[in-house]
Structure 1
Amino acid sequence: MDLESRVADLETRLAFQDDTIQTLNDVVVEQQRIIERVQLQLGALARRQEEMQSTLDTGGDEAPPPHY
């Protein structure tokens, strides 16, 4: 195998590797966006759950129903 064909082979491999790296990078960027969105949703759900829990906790001040 002569030097020119070896260089051409390496250039071809490099081109494929660059394409693969870019594809992987695009996937990582999209996954990061999804993670950030899920974290925001989780925070909103946690706040909502805390609000609902505090609402239920304040309902405990009522007298029990007469059948107790």
Structure 2
Amino acid sequence: MNTEDRLIELETKMAFQEDLLQDLNDVVARQEQQLEKLWQANRLLKSQLDTVHSAVGEASNEAPPPHY
């Protein structure tokens, strides 16, 4: 294998690695967006759960109805 063939092989490998790196970067970017959406959904669910807990807590502090 001469120097030119080795150079071509290295350039080919480098091109494939650049493509792979770009693909991996795209995957990471998509996962970052998905993770942010999940964090937003988690915050919303926590807020809703806190609201339910405070409503249930207020109801449990009320005196029982007279027929008890």
Same fold (TM over 0.5): yes
Query: Residue 58 of structure 1 corresponds to which residue in structure 2?
Result: 58
| Runs of 5+ unmatched residues, structure 2 | none
1:42 and 2:34 equivalent? no
Q: TM-score, normalised by structure 1?
A: 0.92
Q: Size of the alignment, in residue pairs?
A: 67
- After superposition, give the CA deviation of every residue in 1:2-55 in whole Å (9 maximum; x if it has no partner): 000000000000000000000000000000000000000000100110010000
Give 1:62 deviation, angstroms: 2.1
Question: Amino acid of the residue matched to residue 49 of structure 1?
Answer: L
Structure 2: distance between partners of 1:25 and 1:62: 56
Distance 2:23 2:48 in 1: 38
Sequence identity, in percent?
36
d(CA) in 2 for partners of 1:61 and 1:53? 12
Over the aligned positions, Cα root-mean-square deviation in angstroms equals 1.0
- Which amino acid letter does the alignment assign opposite residue 47 of structure 1? S
- Aligned 1:1-68 pairs, distance under 5 A: 1-65=1-65, 66-67=67-68
Q: What is the CA–CA distance in structure 1 between the aligned matches of 2:61 and 2:25, rounded to whole Å? A: 55
